[in-house]
Amino acid sequence: MRIAVLAETDANEARVAATPETVKKLKALGADIVIEEGAGEESGILDAEYKAAGADIVAVGKAATKADVVFSVRRPTAAQLKGINDGAAVIAIADPYGNEAELKTIAGTDAVLFAMELMPRITRAQVMDVLSSQANLAGYRAVIDASAEYGRAFPMMMTAAGTIPAARVFVMGVGVAGLQAIATARRLGAIVTATDVRPATKEQVESLGAKFIAVENEEFKQAETSGGYAKEMSTDYKKQQAELVAAHIAKQDVVITTALIPGRAAPVLVTSAMIKSMKPGSVIVDLAVERGGNVEGVKLGKIADVNGVKIVGHANVAGRLAASASALYAKNLLAFVETLIDKEKKALAINWEDELVKATALTRGGAIVHPNFGGKAE
């Protein structure tokens, strides 16, 4: 069994899909590991470290040849998979929404493409949950980025020369990233408030020592899907919430937005008028920028300045902590591939009845099979 680890080709991608630690564990499963030259460099991992862990290093573009399993961070192109074995597993953050044409070309390689971000959020799959492992780091990094752009200290400082007030940080969207942003801002000594449309988050916010801000009417009390995700709210609710938020934001120094609704564009939560109400020197970090953004005027990959308010729109924020993000992502992949391998035969053995496989497999036998992307589930 040959497991290949690709070097990422996207300029915004510093992460890598295996670490020396996971290479050793994959070897113990009876696999040969091939890694493309320099794949770990931006995560601080040298080829020599992979070699010492038992991997072979090959030229970029060569790893997939005769591979049974391919690990990648982003969805590879069909060209990167040249020579791959029929029925091989390609495991990546496959970004399938709106990319059916690309999925079809991968299907054409006869590989089974798995989208790690579609992993069900059930107890058994927690160790494979890339959304959580990466969002947690992104939430932390959002606060670090905000503090780097903010020209003042976060904690209150009482000095002989005078008192510096604590920064006021408002976190919008309290999923995995938002919770970590709250915890990080609290550790830095900020006064933290947060909002979300899911009522369950109120207690979580308060348990982290932050204050919850929301219109808590009947609609709010019902606003969670059975899967634990946010629902699209009514126009009336959005209006009331926007008024509450508008009054609150005017008093904030830092706003971190993380609000997402699965499969849809991110909701706009911070309008231009709200930005204008903020003090010059304030900072907004939009973690939803890659899905359209929660903040009006945010620019992907840029720091925009609107009346002295900085709007930070970094792409791939988890990737800005590449070494940590790679370490966790590699573990997520290792845990998943273990479920795809027959340990006695030391061979790939995909169980098509497994709910993890059903939820994440996008292509099989030359076609798209995932029902959400035009495929017919088998």
Where in the sequence numbering do the catalytic residues fall?
121, 126, 129, 132, 229
What is the C-alpha to C-alpha distance for residues 64 and 50, in angstroms, rounded to an integer?
17
Among the listed residues 40, 76, 267, 375, the single contact to ligand NAD using CB under 6 A:
267
Let me know: does 3 contact 26? Beta carbons within 8 Å.
yes
- How many chain residues are in contact with ligand NAD, going by CB under 6 A? 28
68 closest CA partner among 101, 44, 94, 90:
90
| Site membership for ligand NAD, residue 93 (CB under 6 A) | no
- For residue 118, state whether it binds ligand NAD (rule: CB under 6 A): no
Q: Of 152-160, 255-263, 315-323, 336-344, which segment contacts ligand NAD by CB under 6 A?
A: 255-263
- 8 Å CB contact between 182 and 174: yes
Which lies closer to ligand NAD via its Cβ, residue 90 or residue 270? Answer: 270
Tokens of 154: 């976060």
The residues in 181-200 that bind ligand NAD, with binding defined as CB under 6 A, are 195-198
Q: Closer to ligand NAD at the Cβ: 67 or 328?
A: 328
Q: Which residues contact 325 (CB under 8 A, 6 or more apart)?
A: 15, 43, 133, 134, 137, 318, 319
Residues numbered 275 to 294 that lie near ligand NAD (CB under 6 A) are none
What is the C-alpha to C-alpha distance for residues 40 and 327, in angstroms, rounded to an integer?
A: 11
Which residue among 66, 82, 121, 264 contacts ligand NAD (CB under 6 A)? 121
CB 172 within 8 A of CB 190: no
The strand pair at 168-172 and 191-195 is best described as parallel
Q: Does 295 bind ligand NAD (CB under 6 A)?
A: no
Q: Give the residue with the Cβ less far from ligand NAD, 236 or 305.
A: 236
Task: Render 30-63 in DSSP notation, one character per residue.
Answer: T-EEEEETTTTGGGT--HHHHHHTTPEEE-TT-T
Our finding on whether 258 is near ligand NAD (CB under 6 A) is: yes
132 binds ligand NAD (CB under 6 A): yes
Binding to ligand NAD in span 159-178, by CB under 6 A: 172-178
- Nearest partner of 208 among 264, 159, 272, 143, judged by Cα: 143
Site string for ligand NAD, 199-238 (x = CB under 6 A): --x--------------------------xxx--------
Q: Which chain residues interact with ligand NAD by CB under 6 A?
A: 121, 126, 129, 131-132, 135, 172-178, 195-198, 201, 228-230, 258-262, 267, 269
